Amino acid sequence: MDLTAIEIIATLAKALVVFTAGMMCTPVLVYAERRLCGFMQDRLGPNRVGPKGLLQPIADAVKSFFKEDLLPANVDRFLWIVAPAIGIAVPILCLAVIPFGASVPLTESYTLIFQVADPDVGVLYVLGVVSLGIFCTTMGGWASNSKFPLLGSLRASAQMVSYEIAMALAVISVVMSTGSLKLSAIVAHQNTDWLGVVPEWHCFTQPLAFLIFFVAAVAENNRIPFDLPECEQELVSGYHTEYSGMRFAMFMMGEYTAIGFMSALIVTMFLGGWSLPWIQLAPASGPSWIGGLVSILVFLVKWALVAFTYIWLRWTLPRFRYDQLMGLGWKALVPLGLANIAVTAFLGVVL
């Protein structure tokens, strides 16, 4: 494989930008969540630190940074220290394969794609790395050597494993209809309009898979309504009870970055990625600068809408009980996912 210099530089630059964007997810989403939940509860969120409270995440970061970093005596030291690191590394790793926009012609010979890496097995890579996220909660709870974190992490692991199956089944139908595991091919498949009116996004052609995937993604992220592992009323703080200061902040960052990544994945696989409904941003004549930059904007708007829906759901719904949660995962979503695959296969052959 020949790597020209410009490819190497471009990939490194893209990796840096994506890494920064992944770390920036947390302040943006934390601020959005606190303001939006305030508005939903007929009050204002934080609005004192900086104009409209925009510097609130910085204040939170400063607070976390200066808190005392406790190392409890009876913890399993290595696992306890590594758990938050995995928590934050996994979502950023996954962000590497998301296509953020259409290509732009950087030079005459090199087209810049807005994707750090585009493996032929993109979807498989994503599903695999997301499974690594389970290690974070499991290790955090086990290493803490204490009852509440252990219970929290047990429940969290079981929940995440079962909803991963539902996620994979939903993704399989999308892959079947696309015919490829490459994420850029999935977006390109959604880039057309049906009868010139309705964009062929997978949320329209595979609505059940969209629903299953969205529910499974919310459960995978341990967000309300599925946040039994980390809720305050049930288990003191679940698997991050024994953490403080910057380590706790890293768990939070990992969670919010995972939300950002899942939103990006949902946008890519179901909402058409960077494509606009009636305007062709990646014309057959070749990549263009305008198309590329507008497509990044489109992606960001769609991402923001999905992240808003995450926050919206969180402050609307009560929490599932654990047996209801597992029942939903195994008894409802998995059969529905299998049925969806069967129907997709059938219609794929018939139509």
Kindly list the residues in this chain that would bind another protein in the complex (CB under 8 A). 36, 38-44, 47, 211, 312-313, 315-317
Query: Do the Cβ atoms of 251 and 243 come closer than 8 Å?
Result: yes
Least distance (Å) between residue 51 CB and another protein? 14
- Residue 298 near residue 337, CB atoms below 8 Å: no
**Which CB atom, from 48 or from 147, has the smaller least distance to another protein?**
48
Closest to 193 (Cα-Cα) out of 183, 201, 185: 201
* Cβ at position 40, least distance to another protein in Å: 5
Please report how close the Cβ of residue 28 comes to another protein at its closest, in angstroms.
Answer: 18
Please say which residue, 218 or 250, places its beta carbon nearer to another protein: 218
Please state, in angstroms and rounded to a whole number, the distance separating the CA atoms of residues 277 and 130: 30
Q: Which is nearer to another protein, 43 or 195 (CB)?
A: 43
Q: Which is nearer to another protein, 9 or 44 (CB)?
A: 44
- Name the minimum Å distance from CB 32 to another protein: 12
Handedness of CA 291, 293, 294, 300 (dihedral sign): positive
Q: Which residue, 130, 282, 141, 97, is CA-closest to 219? A: 130
Query: Which CB, 40 or 79, lies closer to another protein?
Result: 40
In whole angstroms, the minimum distance from the beta carbon of 210 to another protein comes to 12
CB of 310 to another protein, least distance (A): 12
Nearer to another protein, 40 or 54 (CB): 40
From 247, 216, 248, 224, select the one nearest 332 (Cα to Cα).
216
Q: Exposure of 38 by Cβ count < 10 A (0-12 exposed, 13-18 middle, 19+ buried)?
A: middle
Three-class DSSP category at 105: strand
| Nearer CB in complex with another protein: 88/218 | 218
Q: Which residues, 6 or more positions from 284, have their beta carbon under 8 angstroms from its beta carbon? A: none
Cα 127 vs. chain centroid, distance in angstroms?
11
Closest by alpha carbon to 240, among 90, 138, 314? Answer: 138
Shortest separation between residue 225's beta carbon and another protein, angstroms: 9
Q: In the complex, what is the shortest distance from the CB of residue 43 to another protein, in angstroms, rounded to a whole number?
A: 5
Residue 280 has phi, psi (to 5 degrees) of -85, 115
Structure token digits, residue 246: 């910057």
CB-based contact 91:21 (threshold 8 Å): no
Q: With the C-alpha atoms ordered 201, 207, 208, 213, is the resulting torsion angle positive or negative?
A: positive
Closest approach of Cβ 274 to another protein, in Å? 26
Q: Which is nearer to another protein, 192 or 316 (CB)?
A: 316
Q: Which helix (H) or strand (E) holds 194?
A: strand 193-194
Q: For another protein, which is the closer residue by CB, 142 or 310? A: 310
The rounded distance, in Å, linking the Cα atoms of 77 and 242 is 12
